[in-house]
Structures are given as structure tokens and as C-alpha cells.
Amino acid sequence: MGKAAARAILVLSAAACAAAGFVVRQRIVNRIKCRRAVAVLEEFQQSCATPLTLLRDVVDAMDAEMFAGLASENGSKLQMLLSYVKNLPTGHENGLFYALDLGGTNFRVLRVQLGGIERRVVNQEFEEVPIPPNLMVSTSKELFDYIASELVRFVATEGENFHLPPGQQREIGFTFSFPVKQTSIDSGNLVNWTKGFSVSDMIGKDVVATLNEALQRQGLDMRVAALVNDTVGTLAGGRYWDKDVMAAVILGTGTNACYVECVDAIPDAKGLHQTSGDMVINMEWGNFWSSHLPVTEFDKALDSKTINPGYQLFEKLISGLYLGDIVRRVMLRMAEEASLFEHDVLPKLSVPFTLRTPDMSAMHEDTSPNLEVVKKKLQDAFGIQNTCLETRKIIVEVCNIVTERGARLAGAGIVGILKKIGRVGNGATSRQRTVVAMDGGLYEHYPHFRKYLQDAVTELVGPDVSKLIAIEHSRDGSGIGAALLAASHSQFIEK
């Protein structure tokens, strides 16, 4: 071998050794980073823990707050609003009914032909209509005239499969997902707008009267028969198909719950002048609070940056709008204290709500050997290009901790409702089947969330009682539920 060749071999060997040394050093650095990140992870996991003893405390707190909210107007963080829904659907409803679902930048209109106990839902059609942004900050007349004009257009497309009985007026169920002080099944005054609406001359007005007047101006012979919250609509939609539905929960971008209460259990302080039967109570449970809730420094930081700090704290622990951002905040801490990612991604990690809950769910549900979905989501959301498998596993575990806590707390809330109505616990008055109707994208599209929620319910009530509790998905219950409530509260029902 010549000297030149020997020198080349020495150079290549040195380069190979240097490269090998770099790889070894990089692995050591990665291990150190991961170790520091794991320390943050373990601390976060401890602060989010939801052992059975804590969940039982949450159940008892929910039960107590429900009693307090019914007892007086401001007795609890739970508003416990009377819905004035006493006639839940039975399946015997007949005729043509409409629904209007207003709760965001779009509204939905729906019609359904009901055929009684034998034929049930004969036909149904719906349409989604965008609301021009200028009308969201305009006057009540302009906003509701636009809605009424779209209803006129929708009614004009009735086909041969829809029939209004002779001599009857069209009736509509109005799902209005804004804070309302309801005074009857077909009246309620707007408290305040949310979700980007700011029609100031509407505050304090009766929303049903406003819509009825707009319908008259448009020449449409239609009246609002029922004003409902979307959660109440979900319960009604579930009850139509299953007489054992006693509660409904929405777990989506936000969250809420309602349930069927005996009117005799509602104190006179609520101003109810009826003495028998059942009524649906809209809990507004997103504002539930208890010292037993496992709130971390990340939750407190998130709350301080929302438009309603100090309010809707239960919602901020369990609903889809917030879960992804809690994960982002933990990741940011890991980046700052453990240098888990490159420094140039810190600005992107610092932007609130950059990580959406659907992205978090995709990472959590990733079953690929190298967690390729996690890798791509980190790249897309934050520009994080280089992550080792250990780092991706850590991120998945953060998602798992946040999801498990939220779902288990939601499960405890459900058991709290069942305890209040005497279906579980030492004071249970019956051992009968009880169904909870569920709706919302978080529950529908996040399998881990569903499993953790069900597991928590089973742990709390025991395996034998859990067999009597069914949590059933009720897709789009609020839409058809409003039409069903219009039917069950129709002025044309034979008394």
C-alpha cells in the first residue's frame, strides 16, 4: 500500500470516528434533554391525577352544587336554568315541523315529517346558511329579517314527501345557543351575546317575539312553539328514540349538561308555579367549580389569557377548545427548561391555541411504529423538524394526561347528575336503566376520550350498576330535538 493510500485511509478512519463520536454525543444530549423533559412530565402528571377518591369528591360537589343552584338564583356556580320543557317527545308525534338552530356564524334550518309511533321520522331535510358578518353586528331587525327570509326560501322548497295537516299553522323549534333568561317554553330574554355577535338593541328582548315578528314581516305563517338550548334539544332527540334518556351532555368545542328533574324538587325560589310532573333543567355546567378539581399552573395561565378569566373553569378542563392549548403550554415548558426542541421554534410554541385539539387527538391516536403522525403534526403546527422517537413518545404522553384528566372529570360530572336524580349512590331510589345522550365533536371523534370517560363512570358506580347506565351518542340531537319539542308542545295537540 502506498503512502498516499495509507494517508487516505487514516483520514477516512478519523472522519468515521469523528462522525461516530458526534452520533454518540448527540444521543447523550438527547437522553439528557429527554430526562429533563420527563421530570416536567412527571410533575405535570402528578398535578393532573384523578384517583377514585378525588372523583368521588367531584361527584359529591356536583350533586351539592346542583341542589344549591336550584335553591336560589345565585346560590351556585351552576345556573340550573328552567327550560320549561315538560312535554318530552314520546314517539307519538305526528305532522310537519321545522327547526332553526342559531348558535354561530352559520345557522341550520330543518324540517321533519313525523309519522307517529309506527313510522317515526318519515322524512327530514336540512340546510346550513352562513350569516353575513355585517349582520352579526347590525340591528335585531336586520339580523332576524335575514333569518326569516331564509326560512321563507327553505319552506318554499317543501316537496311531496312533506305534508302540513289541513287547518294547521307551521310550527318551529328554535335552538338559540346564547345566554337567555327563559320565562316559558316559547319566550325568553337575551342576557348577552357571545361568539362574535354584538347586536346591542337585542339585549333584554324576547328572542321568540323578535323572530315571530320577523316571520310576520316576511309573510310566513309560522310560529315558534319551543325555545330550547342545544343541550336540551339533544336530550329531547335522545328521548324520542329511548324513553330511558334522563340526561344529555355536549362535549365539543364547549360543554354543557341538562337533565330531567321532578318539579316537586324545584324550590319556589325559582319562581315556578307548577306543582307536578318533570322538567328539563339546563345546568350550564361549564361554570362548575370545586376545590377538588385538579387545576395546574398551566390551566391557571390559560385561564388568565381567555376572554372570561375566572369563569367556565370546568369547561376549560374538559372541552375541545382548550385541551390542545394545555398540551402546547406543557410543550413550551419542556422547550424552555429542557431544550427539548430547537430554539427557533420557541416563538411558534408561544402562540396561544396554535395546537388545536383535533391535532392533539391525531397525535394521541397515532399507532405507527415511529409515531409518524406525531412527527408531521409537530412540523405543521410549530415547524419542529427534528424529533427523536423518545421525544415523540413524551408528547403523546402529555396528550394522554390532558385527555385522561378531562374525560374522567366529565365522567364524574355525569355520575354527579345521576346521583342527584337518585339513579346511583346510597340514596338511589331505583335500579333501572338510565341513558345519557351525548353529542359534540370531542366525544364523537376522540376514542381515547370516550374510553376514559366510560372507565371513570364504571369505577365510580361499580360494574353491576354500570350495566344499567348507557352513554349513547346522539348525533345532531339538538337540531331534530328542537323540531320534536315543537311537535310535543304544539298548539294543535289534542288535549
Residue 243, Cβ density class (10 Å: 0-12 exposed, 13-18 middle, ≥19 buried): middle
H helix or E strand, kind and range, residue 215? helix 207-217
Cell 328582548 sits on residue: 205
Residue 444, Cβ density class (10 Å: 0-12 exposed, 13-18 middle, ≥19 buried): middle
Single out the residue of 329, 282, 316, 311 nearest to residue 410, CA to CA.
Answer: 316
Single out the residue of 194, 50, 185, 110 nearest to residue 483, CA to CA.
Answer: 110
Among residues 230, 299, 366, 439, the one annotated as catalytic is 230
H helix or E strand, kind and range, residue 436? strand 434-439
Q: What angle do CA 250, 256, 258 make, to 5 degrees?
A: 95
Three-state DSSP at 214 gives helix
Residue 340, Cβ density class (10 Å: 0-12 exposed, 13-18 middle, ≥19 buried): buried
Among residues 195, 300, 305, 451, the one annotated as catalytic is 195
Cell 345522550 sits on residue: 437
Single out the residue of 225, 200, 229, 216 nearest to residue 148, CA to CA.
Answer: 216
Q: Is 230 annotated as catalytic? A: yes
Q: Cα–chain-centroid distance for residue 246?
A: 18
CA distance 39 to 44: 9
Cell 335553591 sits on residue: 71
Residue 332, Cβ density class (10 Å: 0-12 exposed, 13-18 middle, ≥19 buried): buried
Half-sphere exposure of 397 (CA within 13 A, CB side): 18
| DSSP string across 134-194 | GGGGS-HHHHHHHHHHHHHHHHTT--TT--PPTT--EEEEEEE-S-EEEEETTEEEE----
Residue 263, Cβ density class (10 Å: 0-12 exposed, 13-18 middle, ≥19 buried): middle
Single out the residue of 306, 63, 89, 102 nearest to residue 202, CA to CA.
Answer: 102
Enumerate the active-site residues.
195, 230
